Structure 1
Amino acid sequence: MSLRSFESDGTPVLSFQVLDGAGSVLAQRAPDREFYAASTIKLAVLIAAMRAVDAGRLALDQELTATHTFRSAVPGGSEFGMDEDDFDEGMPAEGSPISLHDVLWRMVAVSSNEATNMVVDLVGLDAVAEALAHCGARNSVMQRPIGDVEGRSAGLTNRVTAGDLAALMRAVITGAAASPASTERMVSILEAQQIPYLGKGLPTGTRFGSKSGWVDAIQHDVAFVAPSGDLASPETYVIAVCTRGYEEADATELLAGVSRLAWDLTAH
């Protein structure tokens, strides 16, 4: 059954790309089709933050102040908070200390919107754009914080493609996105993913890390899969899948199915 929402006209759409260890395309379907990013854009925010760490502008152990209130990206925009359904109950209370590392972990592993906006406030949207460009994600943008309804109404959006998500993930695992130490930290955080849609299509115990994203009628995931456990092995591959217009259960099943097909395609 198809599903309409603010980000979907109700037409079911599927896009994906699978890259091998050398970056060659193993399979794809409309990899340049644009989608509302949902939380997959947080992968670019993670890269931007770790590049700032590499440059000495940030430190993983630096103490931040937890906040649940943010300002719209619209010039002169108002403050906003998260809807009750999107509130991260695992974040510390307003004004409490939390390390940058823990904020990044929550941003990726449990997809915390508050954590994401704290990092965006710290690095700036221009740094996210630079990270996207550095990794070859040419058609993706982050123009507003997560949950910025005022910004959305003004036409600001967060957008990705399956091809760009695959490029981002491959840049992470190959070390092209950041330093070796930052690469190791990003991989560890991605492996802690708590909502692994693509992981549902893999044999138990497979080394895997991902960043998923979802809102009504939107469900995406981008992942690395390392069957041997070695990220540098030729068997390691990257998969990105974007969907629009599907009911949640149908989208979840579809992502797992594409993941299984990618596994079979790579002949493990």
Structure 2
Amino acid sequence: MPIPTAAAPDHVAVSACLLDAEGKVLAADGADRPYYAASTIKLHVLLAALQAADTGVLDLDERVPATDTFTGADGALFTLGGDHLDSTHPADGDPVSIRELLTRMIDRSSNEATDHLIELIGLDAVGEAITELGLTSTRVERMIGDASALAAGATNETSAADLARTMRALVRTSCPPSAPTSSAQASSAQASSAPTSSAQASSAQASSAQASSAPTSNAPTSNANTSGAPIPHGGLAPHSGPSTHSDLAPEAGLSARSVDLARTALRAQQIPVIARALREGVPWGSKSGWVDGYRHDVAFLGDPDAADVRYLAVMTSGLDPEAADEEIARRVRALVADVAA
């Protein structure tokens, strides 16, 4: 029996968000639009698990019996199967450390590891991490493969803006760089044809009020296209208004140990999309996600400790995998031309 995911999208859409080292929006296109999240929810599970480790709730060195069977929302057990199983995952009952579960959830997108971690920390902890980070379009309401939760209307959603912000929270240090915008960032802005507005520096409170009534910029082009063909990037310009996702919003505050674990797992990504469009030698780490009709990726580009690091998220719906990958590559070339292949 197929593992439940989400209903197929009925239209084509592409959204993107690019942040600088301080979390300010450099460019955005439909960035707050929610999409079915697929495996990108694993970033939010990672954030919640690392916060639990930092507070002593979770011991990353503890070894637990590996499993592919979990408790659904209705209290009944369900078992993952088919393509949702990782052939390299430890056999049922074999000991595995929580640290290894975290790594496997990210570098090879293990669904077994993800559900195991959610059982250990609880969906409420994931929701609290999302709320504390101020994410506005993200919901993680069910475990992967939980048919009972899906039938009850539970879903997992996020947006390009929330993904970029979550990536930044996972890999930034407690003392972010304060150097001025680098020449690399300036090059990216020039590629989009307009200077970044100073209005980006406005507060998160004012930004949220304005963003709640503003239309998404990709609606006219993306939603009207139902042919399945790649969508043109439409000359994405740097964000010219107040940012909904300002660096003034709450931070994750992860320990140096947790940040190092997150960076290591993201750099070991075995299923990259954005990175395929980068020049050789550009540092990166990423987390992709896909199910039928949806394909997404989010990455940090550059050294997370440097002032010129950027965070790029691109989400797609209604495209086949090859067309989606090409559309994501086009966004890379349009938004970060200085590091694109």
**TM-score using structure 2 length:** 0.73
Aligned to 2:76: 78
The within-5 A match list for 1:197-236 is: 197-226=273-302, 230-236=303-309
Task: Give the partner amino acid of 1:7.
Answer: A
Equivalent residue for 2:334, pick from 251, 261, 264: 261
Partners of 1:245 and 1:159 in 2: CA distance: 16
- The structural deviation recorded for 1:93 is 1.1
Partners of 2:127 and 2:328 in 1: CA distance: 27
| Identical positions, percent | 42
Partners of 2:59 and 2:335 in 1: CA distance: 37
Partners of 1:118 and 1:71 in 2: CA distance: 10
Alignment of 1:146 with 2:144, yes or no, is yes
- Kindly indicate whether the alpha-carbon contact (under 8 Å) linking 1:235 and 1:266 is maintained by their aligned counterparts in 2: no
Stretches of structure 2 that go unaligned for 5 or more consecutive residues are: 174-250
Q: Deviations over 1:45-72 (max 9, x none)?
A: 0011111110111122110110111121
Larger Rg, first or second structure (1 or 2): 2
Task: Name whichever of 64-73 and 211-220 sits farther off.
Answer: 64-73
Aligned to 2:247: none
Task: Give the partner amino acid of 1:17.
Answer: C
Aligned to 1:167: 165
Partners of 1:217 and 1:43 in 2: CA distance: 20
Partners of 2:169 and 2:335 in 1: CA distance: 19
Partners of 1:190 and 1:197 in 2: CA distance: 13
Task: Give the partner amino acid of 2:317.
Answer: R
Q: Deviations over 1:129-180 (max 9, x none)?
A: 1111222212201110011122112100011011111111111222342111
Equivalent residue for 1:111, pick from 109, 112, 121: 109
Task: Give the partner amino acid of 1:241.
Answer: V
Aligned to 1:102: 100
RMSD: 1.7
**TM-score using structure 1 length:** 0.92
Task: Name whichever of 257-266 and 127-136 sits farther off.
Answer: 257-266
Aligned to 2:263: 187
Q: Compared with structure 1, are the counterparts of its residues 267 and 67 closer, same or farther at alpha carbon in structure 2 (3 Å cutoff)?
A: closer
How many residues were matched structurally? 259
Q: Compared with structure 1, are the counterparts of its residues 6 and 141 closer, same or farther at alpha carbon in structure 2 (3 Å cutoff)?
A: closer
Stretches of structure 1 that go unaligned for 5 or more consecutive residues are: none
- Kindly indicate whether the alpha-carbon contact (under 8 Å) linking 2:14 and 2:316 is maintained by their aligned counterparts in 1: yes
Partners of 1:200 and 1:148 in 2: CA distance: 32
The within-5 A match list for 1:10-29 is: 10-29=10-29
Partners of 1:77 and 1:60 in 2: CA distance: 27
